Chains A and B, each alone.
Chain A
Amino acid sequence: SYVLTQPPSVSVAPGQTARITCGRNNIGSKSVHWYQQKPGQAPVLVIYYNSDRPSGIPERFSGSNFGDTATLTISRVEAADEADYYCQLWDSSSGHYYVFGTGTKVTVL
């Protein structure tokens, strides 16, 4: 099956760095995008094309993608960063087209 594997949860203290991984065989050959979703709200695109930030997204959010793992990094974590985060990619070759990761709950301690 076509699965993008994320850790279910990540806990981080304010001011520290949170790293959220997204795993799949050879994911580095694809463009990966990341979304933040707070409770009761629609998702928001925070990183696209592996490492680009949409306007309005703080520089504290960064991304990388190499080998079998894509990573979303949140530096100097704030309480407002507490949310669910999803990775996503597009791949027409498998017939799945748009695939989301399993999601990671980031808790700010």
Chain B
Amino acid sequence: DVQLVETGGGLTQPGESLTLSCEVSGFSVSGSYMSWVRQAPGKGLEWVSVIFGNGDTYYAGSVKGRFTISRDSSVSTLYLHMNSLRAEDTAVYYCVRLYCNGVFCGDAFDVWGQGTMVTVSS
């Protein structure tokens, strides 16, 4: 069974750092297209970052230079390192696998974790 479990959310102050983890099971995190998507309270979905199968990484403009996506295949885990946090980063953060059938990869988000809440407030 494919499963994604996020941990690491919580309450933190502006300017602080936080690292989210996403442990995956049922597939290999290395070589997979993986992403983070967030949702502020009462708002819509916002893409945050992606790591492609070849290791290339991309970020939304709102987090570029502050957030870093990475993965560790030895522990089947995806990470999101978040620095210089702002109040507007407050959201539920979802770890998501991107669909790949060997021909089409990286377009659609096909498996979602349950999300972890990050609150940035003084």
CB <8 Å contact, B110 and A48:
yes
- A18-39 vs B: 1/0 string, CB under 8 Å? 0000000000000101010100
What number of residue pairs across chains A and B have CB atoms under 8 A from each other?
Answer: 59
CB <8 Å contact, B60 and A45:
no
- In angstroms, Cα B53 to Cα A56, docked, is 26
With contacts A97-B47, A98-B35, A100-B47 taken as known, whether A44 is within 8 angstroms of B104 at the C-beta atoms is no
The SS class assigned to the B binding surface is: strand
The listed residue (B106, B110, B112) touching A90 by CB distance below 8 A is B106
CB <8 Å contact, B44 and A45:
no
The listed residue (A31, A45, A100) touching B45 by CB distance below 8 A is A100
- In angstroms, Cα B113 to Cα A33, docked, is 18
Assign chain A's interface to a size class.
Answer: 20 to 34
Chain A residues with Cβ under 8 A from B61's Cβ?
Answer: 95-96
Assign chain B's interface to a size class.
Answer: 20 to 34
Say whether B108 faces chain A, with CB atoms less than 8 Å apart: yes
CB <8 Å contact, A90 and B107:
yes
Chain A residues with Cβ under 8 A from B27's Cβ?
Answer: none
CB <8 Å contact, B108 and A45:
yes
The SS class assigned to the A binding surface is: strand
Chain A residues with Cβ under 8 A from B113's Cβ?
Answer: 42
With contacts A35-B109, A42-B94 taken as known, whether A49 is within 8 angstroms of B45 at the C-beta atoms is no
A99 to chain B, nearest CB (A): 7
A45 to chain B, nearest CB (A): 5
20 example contacts (A-B, Cβ-Cβ < 8 A) are as follows: A31-B108, A35-B109, A42-B112, A42-B115, A43-B112, A44-B112, A45-B99, A48-B107, A48-B110, A49-B108, A54-B110, A86-B45, A90-B107, A96-B61, A97-B60, A98-B35, A98-B47, A98-B50, A99-B47, A101-B44
